[in-house]
């Protein structure tokens, strides 16, 4: 393959600020990719997912197909704010490429394109292939998960092209996740003159943290993290308000149900007399679990790896992706088909240049075997 051309194309994608909330940047990345696919003769469609996010992009080799042999998924957005590209645009050394979204997941999006560019004409005639690129994965795919789910339900297999892990592993299981916001409403009072007349929302929040932490079950991999707290207006005022954001992770969807029910009950009861608590679930992804259909797809990938000389190993990871949604629908789903990378969501993000070409060959071979 022409690695220089691949790198030049990646630079076009990385050097655009496209955090989920930078809608114009997400749209620009969508335009660049749509143009690349159109030049290959694939049908491209922009998908309006609402004014809160950028567009999705749907690409297919068979525009009139009602079902797909495989759905390839990647996301257009990153976690980084506007101005990041100016501070640290894409760069590289002898072994790695750096930059915002370089491995999470601009390189994965580009590898899909390059894998399909090299497909045999007979395979493209035989197979019905769809590529879905969504604009809001980094904030939980709130606006796009229904669209992705509808596409997945029309597909026999789903391959998500997030980066392979740092050791080269692909992903066959992911923790589910849920995000919550708790709002506490108390009664303000002068902290010196009339403290007894107040009902501190901050104190209620403090009690809630202990109760929420107690819901974790480390042996089953169920964790809760109260990661953001705020409240009160001044130190000499009994706080009338407070807020907390909670992150829940779980391997088993039954644990999600248990904790969700417990959180609702705790908030209904309240954490302190005179302070009311409301809870809102901000986002949710079910766990991506292995089943018999997933194992059959894993065997195909392993055979493809043998044929291409690419070592295949598997890893279950704590972070979620769009694979969580499609797997929960019962569609055989695997993840991690992008180049090898690490340092996601940080300035240290990188991808291994040597992994680009083998991972393109692997993805192409897997699709051809479906």
Bridge partners of 176? 250
pLDDT at 8: 98
* Cα–Cα nearest to 221, from 247, 246, 250: 250
Query: How many alpha carbons fall within 13 Å on the CB side of residue 187?
Result: 11
Which ranges of the chain would DSSP assign to H, the alpha helix? 3-14, 23-39, 84-87, 107-117, 121-126, 145-152, 201-213, 253-269, 292-308, 322-328, 356-368
d(CA 361, CA 5): 16
Which residue, among 57, 62, 60, 56, has the nearest Cα to 71 in the 3D structure? Answer: 60
Residues carrying an active site annotation: 77, 137
Q: pLDDT tens track of the chain, all 370 residues?
A: 999 999 999 999 999 999 999 999 999 999 999 999 999 999 999 999 999 999 999 999 999 999 999 999 999 999 999 999 999 999 999 999 999 999 999 999 999 999 999 999 999 999 999 999 999 999 989 999 999 999 999 999 999 999 999 999 999 999 999 999 999 999 999 999 999 999 999 999 999 999 999 999 999 999 999 999 999 999 999 999 999 999 999 999 999 999 999 999 999 999 999 999 999 999 899 999 999 999 999 999 999 999 999 999 999 999 889 999 999 999 999 999 999 999 999 999 999 999 999 999 999 999 999 9
With 0-12 / 13-18 / 19 or more C-beta atoms within 10 angstroms meaning exposed / middle / buried, residue 7 is middle
Q: Residue 195 has what DSSP assignment?
A: G
Task: Supply φ then ψ for residue 305, to 5 degrees.
Answer: -65, -40
Distance, in Å, from the CA atom of 174 to the CA atom of 331, rounded to the nearest integer, reads 15
How far, in Å, CA of 82 to CA of 214, rounded?
38
DSSP 211-253: HHHTT-BGGGTBEEEEEEEEE-S-TTEE-SEEEEEEEEEESSH
Q: What is the pTM of this model?
A: 0.88
b/e for 46-71, b at 16 or more Cβ within 10 A?
ebebeeebbbbbbbbbbeeeeebbbb
Helices 23-39 and 107-117, packing angle to 10 deg: 10
For residue 285, what is the enclosing H or E element? Answer: strand 276-285
**CA 3 → CA 120, 141, 308, distances in Å?**
20, 32, 18
What's the pLDDT at 147? 98
What are the structural domains of the chain?
A: 3-174+288-368 (3.40.630.10), 176-285 (3.30.70.360)
Nearest to residue 338, comparing CAs of 13, 121, 103? 103
Say if residue 357 is exposed, middle or buried (CB neighbours under 10 Å; 0-12, 13-18, 19+): middle
- Residue 319 has a pLDDT of 85
Q: What is the pLDDT of residue 140?
A: 87
Note whether 179 and 246 are within 8 A (CB).
yes
């Amino acid at each position: 393959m022409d690695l220089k051309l691949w790198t030049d194309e990646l630079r076009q994608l990385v050097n655009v600020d496209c955090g989920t909330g930078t809608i114009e940047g997400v749209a620009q990345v969508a335009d660049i990719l749509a143009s690349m696919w159109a030049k290959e003769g694939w049908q491209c469609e922009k998908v309006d997912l609402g004014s809160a996010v950028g567009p999705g992009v749907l690409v297919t080799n068979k525009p009139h197909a009602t079902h797909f042999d495989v759905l390839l998924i990647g996301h257009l957005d990153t976690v980084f704010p506007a101005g990041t590209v100016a501070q640290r645009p894409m760069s590289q050394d002898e072994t790695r490429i750096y930059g915002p979204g370089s491995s999470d997941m601009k390189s994965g999006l580009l590898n899909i394109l390059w894998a399909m560019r090299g497909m045999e004409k007979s395979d493209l005639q035989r197979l019905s292939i769809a590529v879905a690129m969504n604009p809001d994965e980094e904030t939980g795919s709130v606006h796009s998960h229904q669209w992705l789910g509808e596409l997945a339900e029309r597909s026999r297999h789903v391959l998500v092209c997030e980066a392979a892990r740092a050791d080269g592993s692909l992903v066959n299981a992911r923790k589910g996740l849920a995000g919550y916001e708790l709002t506490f409403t108390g009664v303000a009072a002068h902290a010196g003159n009339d403290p007894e007349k107040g009902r501190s929302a901050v104190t209620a929040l403090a009690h809630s943290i202990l109760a929420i932490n107690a819901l974790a079950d480390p042996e089953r991999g169920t964790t809760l993290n109260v990661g953001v707290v705020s409240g009160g207006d001044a130190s000499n005022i009994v706080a009338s308000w407070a807020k907390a954001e909670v992150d829940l992770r779980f391997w088993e969807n039954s644990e999600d149900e248990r904790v969700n029910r417990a959180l609702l009950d705790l908030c209904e009861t309240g954490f302190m007399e005179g302070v009311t608590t409301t809870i809102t679930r901000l986002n949710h992804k079910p766990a991506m679990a292995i089943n018999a259909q997933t194992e059959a797809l894993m065997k195909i990938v392993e055979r493809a790896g043998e044929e291409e000389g690419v070592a295949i190993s598997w890893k279950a990871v704590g972070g979620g992706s769009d694979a969580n949604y499609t797997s929960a629908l019962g569609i055989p789903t695997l993840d991690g088909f992008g180049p090898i990378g690490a340092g996601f969501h940080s300035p240290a993000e990188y991808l291994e240049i040597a992994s680009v070409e083998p991972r393109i060959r692997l993805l192409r071979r897997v699709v051809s075997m479906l």
